[in-house]
A and B are shown apart, each in its own frame.
Chain A
Amino acid sequence: MLSVLLWLPLAFGIVALLVPAGRAWIPALAGAIGTLVVAVVFWAGWGSPGEVPQYAESVPWIPELGISYSLAIDGLSLFLVLLTALAWVPAVAFAASRKAGEGRERLFYFMLMLGESATLGAFLASDLILFVLFFDLMIVPFYFLFGIWGRDRDGVGAGTATMRMIIYTLVGSLLMLVGAVALGFAAEDASGKELTFEIAELIRRGIPDSTQYWIFWLFALAFFIKMPLFPFNGWMPDAYRAAPLPALALFSAVLSKVGAYGFLRVVLPVMPDAAELFQTAILIFAVASIIYGSVIAFTKIDLRLIIGFSSIAQLGFITLGIFALDDTGASGALFQMVNHGLVVVPAILIVGLIAERTGSEDLGPMGGLAKNAPILAVIFLIVTMATLALPGSPNFIGEFLILNGTFQVSVAIAIVASSGVALAAYYALRMYQRTMHDPLPPGSDSREISLRDGLIVVPMVLVLVVLAFAPQIVLGETGEAVADVVEKVGSAG
């Protein structure tokens, strides 16, 4: 059954290739909505949190090499799968409403839907090689989306920017592939049983410490580049500026989470000793990313870059929570992955709405849009407040849990990280204020959000609002799975 969820988007993507170009969006949107419905059905059938995994299927794929096609949903992946399925709907709808993919609509929507299948695959895979393959596969459609339909900015061609991104990311995932293969063999050697890449089986077999120590960094590097964390964010600014907005929204909201998810899914359970040994090092990377992303977001005026660098800071928080190796911290991190995704999609789509009204994505010449567009302003205000993790937003609970977890490990790191919260308040509010408040410059059109755009943006904001009242909806389901992962690290040493 999980295969239906996994391949449904691609199936609709293929249909999109076959219909007239002008209608290619219809199967894509239908596919995105259908996938969301299937994902919700899985969630509705979810049993008590204790049963692990809740849904699973596994068939041998390349038995000689021990590679199997195994999929599962458990507490770790449930809400990320839901986030993926949810995020694709407004992104596709936004693309359709803006007639995106000009000239080659069929290819555009095919790529978009291939991206969804690949991303879902990364979250669903319970075979290590399958995970790595999906991890690589998901970048490919985005490469085309950014490269073909992106824009050249300030002398940096979309092609060049995307090229840098893909080479960089692929180098990272290549290293991870090597690591993954090596893990399989190390486990085979250690156990004397036949080769397999089933993650659960790798955990049972255990990996020798010395092997863990170097493979750990191969994975960490791949994930750091993907998220990205400082100092591996070099591909990010140009790619963010080039990307078409709906694709960027997905990339920033969902794809960046796969890296963080990989830590929880693979690195911590399979390489617990390494995770424990290198804990401090990773925490330092994480806290450096928080500060670095925040202070740069402080200085940028390009809305995409503000969101991009704030994402670096947010992923720093998420990594911090995971490597606190504490159940509150890691639960907070997983929750924050969902929250950040929920915030970023509307934020980036609103950047599009702002650009349509002001003709610019730079904060310099804008302002005052709230004048005739109070509803747009309020929507953006809610998104802004969630971005800066105003207490009362679900993001605050995420951050609170992360800081709480970090505090148990290192008071100093927790305090430095918390300064990122104050910086976020400044750069996020500045983004709101310079677009919606202040005088309305001539040439800006303060136009209210249309009903259609409202229908695209508001549902995700509503999910945020619901979670604000009851973060426990998520935390209650993920808690045990996360605690399971984290406790293994503690007990392994």
Chain B
Amino acid sequence: MTAASWAWLVLLFPLLGSMVIAFGFRRLPARTTGIIGTAAIGLAFVAGVGSLFALLSEPSESRYVASSLWEYAGVGELRIDLGLYVDPLAVFMVLVVTGVSFLIHFYSTAYMESDEGYRRFFSYLNFFVFSMLLLVLAGNFVLLIVGWAFVGFASYALISFWYRRTTATAAGMKAFVINVVGDIGLVLAAILIFRELGVLDYRAVFEAAPEAFTTNEWTIVAICLLLLVGAFAKSAQLPFHTWLADAMEGPTPVSSLIHAATMVTAGVYLVARSWTLFELAPSAADVAAIVGVVTLLVAGTIALVVTDLKRIIAYSTMSQIGYMFLAVGIGAYSAGMFHLMTHAFFKALLFMAAGSVIAVMANNQNIDRMKGLGTAVPFTGAMLVIGSLALAGFPLTSGWFSKDEILDYALYRGDWYTWLAIAGYVGALMTALYAFRIVFRILPGRPCPEAAELIETGHVAHGEPVNPVTGAAEDYEVGYPGRDHHVAEQARGMRIGMGVLAILALVAGFLQVPGVTEVVKNFLEPTFEGSPLAELHPPVGKAWLGLFNGGVIAVVGIALAWVFWVRRPAIPEALQTRFRPLYELFLHKWYFDELIDLLIVRPVKALGQFANRVIEPFVVGGIVTGTTTLVRSAGSLVRDLQSGMIRAYAALMVLGTILLVLYLLIGAA
């Protein structure tokens, strides 16, 4: 079988899984739907591996296949196929997406056990994976947009999963609308590409672009900036990031899958996929890198102060994706993809561990309330530590290898890119701080009541169901956990899911060790063939020096976190009072929500009200009233015929019209 046939199978399984569960939701037992959903993703992973081997059996210069099922839409010159494009980058993404998704599905079978919407959950989750795979396998820009939007839709459905909770539905809507803004960016980019090049298939576009554009010509810059609008919206980069923290309203496995491991990396994938275009528009590539760096700093500051466990991790995601944008923006494509992969492992792990913690805490997510969980749930505690180590870039963990490879590359490119690298190191310090702020605040110490209950009775605490954000009372059907909730880390599915990811988070870094192996880079090489930037390579010595620096920063950050939150808790409190305005700024997420509300939402609403109150009655209504009055006054000449019957009036109108026409015709003839 060719790589393309395998790729169609990769798409088929999750779609089929989603549909089988959706259509069988009344008949299938809940457990079965969980198994179907998980198996579908497992099979997709297997097919992905098939695709990998099919591709590897080809010589490196022909490691790509395009395959089309039928013509999707064609008008005149415009031709869009329902087609895929399979190359190392696509296969890499397929493996990361299906691999991590499989573990998350597995985890979910246990985690969501007591939820009323178990079947719905797996149907959505499968559909989400299908969409993401369509996004990475699409063979042209239009199909990419379709996958892109399906992902947005699936994310909406999953964020609003507990759909009777108003905070969840509002969050879903916000995510969806911001994603649509991103979609529009992509649509305009595709239209512009078509206008300039007359094609939309990836390969045709990438082959035609270097001929058609000179470097930094405005059209190619415009195309790339429009692509970036889509990429930033999907990947929660400034200023389109506000939906991501709110998206934590969704069930925790969703946060793990969509808002950490897969969907939010789509923007990074897009830039890497379109590297040919971005190298023709270096200014746009710089924009990607700069926005990435700004995002990683801003998100880092917010993660340092917020107290909601899931939101801290969400901001850390934004920040890590900032590193990836920095990477693909400066041309370190394979390093960016490598970090995408390791991040998927350790971030999915962190969210899973957070889910386990939230389960123990009876759905409370505030880290101020958590204490002594290390004793109550030692396995989860260990997972949290491993995830945090990788996130902080502790030496030998996967995050250390991947993040520092990016920063090495930035340093190596020199020039003002050095400043980006320095900012990246500052961000790394913050990362270590907030990662271990979580660890040090919730794991050690005297167990809080919920943890104590688990330790003493062996049962998970059962609080009254409340909305974790607003504290409003709810019923069991609305949110997590369900009435019969008793999962904690004892559940096997959760343990296996976390365990495998923990191993990956620890060892995946050894795929790319400077001077030793370069598995990811070598595998992706055919995709980036011909890129001068991809050829650039810091010498081994510099690379190790960078790793050393990164390791020192991580250790210092962790040590500082220990001082702040274990040894001398007075220090962070003093800092808070001392730098009150700054603290407020961070706590209010730099007031981005308020700013967007002020600049966009309110003006549009005001415009709507204005149209409603002024234009509609006076202008639009005025034209009607004027016309009808005119006709009526003409009609009143024959008032006798009116006889109060509106129908007769209308009949008269019709008759009059016809007579008038006949008159015109006869008169003229």
Q: Whose C-beta in chain A lies nearest to the C-beta of B645?
A: A159
Contact between chains at B653 and A470 (CB < 8 Å): no
Could you tell me the distance between the alpha carbons of A393 and B504 in the complex, rounded to whole angstroms?
A: 38
Q: Whose C-beta in chain A lies nearest to the C-beta of B617?
A: A234
Q: Which of B75, B611, B647 touches A144 (beta carbons < 8 Å)?
A: B647
Q: Which of B609, B632, B647, B657 touches A173 (beta carbons < 8 Å)?
A: B657
Contact between chains at B604 and A167 (CB < 8 Å): no
> B residues within 8 A CB of A292?
611, 615
Q: Which of B75, B164, B627 touches A368 (beta carbons < 8 Å)?
A: B164
Q: Which of B78, B611, B623, B654 touches A328 (beta carbons < 8 Å)?
A: B78
**B interface footprint on A253-282 (CB within 8 Å = 1, 0 otherwise):** 000000000000000000000000000000
Is B146 at the interface (CB under 8 A from chain A)? yes
- A159-B646, A166-B653 given; A421·B616 CB < 8 A: no
- A232-B623, A418-B184 given; A162·B78 CB < 8 A: no
Counting chain A residues whose Cβ lies within 8 A of the other chain, the interface size class is: 35 or more
> B residues within 8 A CB of A231?
615, 619-620, 623
Q: How far is the CB of A304 from chain B (nearest CB, A)?
A: 15
Q: How far is the CB of A171 from chain B (nearest CB, A)?
A: 6
> A residues within 8 A CB of B647?
144, 147-148
Contact between chains at A440 and B75 (CB < 8 Å): no
Contact between chains at A429 and B173 (CB < 8 Å): yes
Q: Which of A235, A391, A401 touches B149 (beta carbons < 8 Å)?
A: A391
Contact between chains at B650 and A327 (CB < 8 Å): no
Contact between chains at A479 and B75 (CB < 8 Å): yes
> A residues within 8 A CB of B176?
425, 429
Could you tell me the distance between the alpha carbons of A143 and B283 in the complex, rounded to whole angstroms?
A: 60
Is B397 at the interface (CB under 8 A from chain A)? no
Is A170 at the interface (CB under 8 A from chain B)? yes
Contact between chains at B608 and A479 (CB < 8 Å): no
Contact between chains at B145 and A332 (CB < 8 Å): no
> A residues within 8 A CB of B604?
295, 298, 423
Task: Report A's interface with B, CB cutoff 8 A.
Answer: 64-65, 67, 129, 132-133, 136, 140, 143-144, 147-148, 159, 162-164, 166-168, 170-171, 173-174, 177-178, 181, 185, 195, 230-235, 237, 292, 295-296, 298-300, 327-328, 331-332, 367-368, 370-371, 374, 378, 385, 388, 390-392, 396-397, 400-401, 403-404, 407-408, 414-415, 418-419, 421-423, 425-426, 429-430, 433, 436-440, 469-472, 475-476, 479, 482-483
Q: How far is the CB of B230 from chain A (nearest CB, A)?
A: 11
Closest 3 A-B residue pairs measured CB to CB?
A234-B624, A391-B149, A299-B608
Contact between chains at B145 and A471 (CB < 8 Å): no
> A residues within 8 A CB of B71?
472, 476
Q: Which of B242-250, B380-388, B573-581, B659-667 contacts A (4 or more CB under 8 A)?
A: B659-667
Contact between chains at A404 and B194 (CB < 8 Å): yes
Q: Which of B145, B177, B608, B624 touches A235 (beta carbons < 8 Å)?
A: B624
Q: Whose C-beta in chain A lies nearest to the C-beta of B188?
A: A418
Contact between chains at A177 and B183 (CB < 8 Å): no
Q: Which of B72, B191, B615, B628 touches A414 (beta carbons < 8 Å)?
A: B191
Q: Which of A133, A195, A230, A391 touches B669 (beta carbons < 8 Å)?
A: A195
Could you tell me the distance between the alpha carbons of A189 and B616 in the complex, rounded to whole angstroms?
A: 43
Contact between chains at A171 and B654 (CB < 8 Å): no
Could you tell me the distance between the alpha carbons of A148 and B622 in the complex, rounded to whole angstroms?
A: 26
Q: How far is the CB of A111 from chain B (nearest CB, A)?
A: 11
- A415-B188, A433-B169, A472-B73 given; A422·B631 CB < 8 A: no
Contact between chains at B191 and A407 (CB < 8 Å): yes
Interface residues of B in 20-75 (CB under 8 A from A): 22, 25, 70-75
Q: How far is the CB of B633 from chain A (nearest CB, A)?
A: 12
Q: Whose C-beta in chain A lies nearest to the C-beta of B116?
A: A371
Contact between chains at B669 and A65 (CB < 8 Å): yes
> A residues within 8 A CB of B658?
133, 136
- A185-B668, A234-B621 given; A426·B72 CB < 8 A: no
Could you tell me the distance between the alpha carbons of A404 and B190 in the complex, rounded to whole angstroms?
A: 9
Q: Whose C-beta in chain A lies nearest to the C-beta of B192?
A: A407
Chain A at the B interface: SS class: helix
Contact between chains at A392 and B146 (CB < 8 Å): yes
Contact between chains at A234 and B195 (CB < 8 Å): no
Could you tell me the distance between the alpha carbons of A479 and B149 in the complex, rounded to whole angstroms?
A: 26
- A390-B149, A429-B176 given; A233·B169 CB < 8 A: no
* Cross-chain pair count, CB within 8 angstroms: 211
Q: How far is the CB of B340 from chain A (nearest CB, A)?
A: 23
> A residues within 8 A CB of B646?
147, 159, 162-163
Q: Which of A65, A440, A470, A479 touches B164 (beta carbons < 8 Å)?
A: A440
Contact between chains at A437 and B650 (CB < 8 Å): no
Is B180 at the interface (CB under 8 A from chain A)? yes
Q: How far is the CB of B274 from chain A (nearest CB, A)?
A: 18
**A interface footprint on B591-635 (CB within 8 Å = 1, 0 otherwise):** 000000000000011011101100110011111110110011000
Could you tell me the distance between the alpha carbons of A292 and B604 in the complex, rounded to whole angstroms?
A: 11
Contact between chains at A391 and B150 (CB < 8 Å): yes
Could you tell me the distance between the alpha carbons of A433 and B173 in the complex, rounded to whole angstroms?
A: 8
> A residues within 8 A CB of B120?
374
Is B163 at the interface (CB under 8 A from chain A)? yes
Which residue of A136, A390, A401 has the most chain B CB atoms within 10 A of its CB atom?
A390
> A residues within 8 A CB of B177?
422, 425-426, 429
Could you tell me the distance between the alpha carbons of A219 and B163 in the complex, rounded to whole angstroms?
A: 48
> A residues within 8 A CB of B82?
469
> A residues within 8 A CB of B183?
391, 421
Could you tell me the distance between the alpha carbons of A64 and B662 in the complex, rounded to whole angstroms?
A: 12
> A residues within 8 A CB of B73?
397, 401, 471-472, 475
Q: How far is the CB of B128 from chain A (nearest CB, A)?
A: 14
Q: Whose C-beta in chain A lies nearest to the C-beta of B657?
A: A174
Q: How far is the CB of B435 from chain A (nearest CB, A)?
A: 35
> A residues within 8 A CB of B619?
231
Is B523 at the interface (CB under 8 A from chain A)? no
Is B187 at the interface (CB under 8 A from chain A)? yes
Could you tell me the distance between the alpha carbons of A235 and B164 in the complex, rounded to whole angstroms?
A: 37
> B residues within 8 A CB of A185?
668
Could you tell me the distance between the alpha carbons of A407 and B646 in the complex, rounded to whole angstroms?
A: 47
Q: Whose C-beta in chain A lies nearest to the C-beta of B134?
A: A392
Is B148 at the interface (CB under 8 A from chain A)? yes
> A residues within 8 A CB of B627?
167-168, 171
> B residues within 8 A CB of A469?
82
Is B160 at the interface (CB under 8 A from chain A)? yes
User: Knowing that A422-B181, A438-B164 are A-B contacts, what are 17 other residue pairs whose CB atoms are under 8 Å apart, sorted by A's residue number?
Assistant: A147-B650, A166-B653, A167-B632, A170-B653, A173-B657, A232-B620, A296-B616, A298-B608, A368-B164, A400-B142, A401-B78, A407-B192, A407-B195, A414-B191, A425-B176, A436-B163, A437-B163
Contact between chains at A438 and B169 (CB < 8 Å): yes
Contact between chains at A140 and B654 (CB < 8 Å): yes
Is B590 at the interface (CB under 8 A from chain A)? no
> A residues within 8 A CB of B649?
163
| 26 cross-chain CB contacts under 8 A | A64-B669, A132-B661, A163-B649, A168-B627, A170-B654, A171-B627, A185-B668, A230-B620, A296-B612, A298-B608, A299-B608, A299-B611, A367-B164, A388-B180, A396-B145, A400-B190, A418-B188, A421-B183, A422-B180, A425-B180, A437-B164, A438-B163, A472-B71, A475-B74, A476-B74, A479-B76
> A residues within 8 A CB of B616?
237, 296
Q: Whose C-beta in chain B lies nearest to the C-beta of A392?
A: B146
Is B522 at the interface (CB under 8 A from chain A)? no
Contact between chains at B164 and A439 (CB < 8 Å): yes
Contact between chains at B187 and A392 (CB < 8 Å): no
Contact between chains at A295 and B148 (CB < 8 Å): no
Q: How far is the CB of A61 from chain B (nearest CB, A)?
A: 12
> B residues within 8 A CB of A296?
608, 611-612, 616
Could you tell me the distance between the alpha carbons of A261 and B619 in the complex, rounded to whole angstroms?
A: 27
Contact between chains at B605 and A298 (CB < 8 Å): yes
Contact between chains at A136 and B664 (CB < 8 Å): no
Could you tell me the distance between the alpha carbons of A437 and B167 in the complex, rounded to whole angstroms?
A: 11
Is B166 at the interface (CB under 8 A from chain A)? yes
Is B153 at the interface (CB under 8 A from chain A)? yes
> A residues within 8 A CB of B632?
167
Could you tell me the distance between the alpha carbons of A296 and B22 in the complex, rounded to whole angstroms?
A: 35
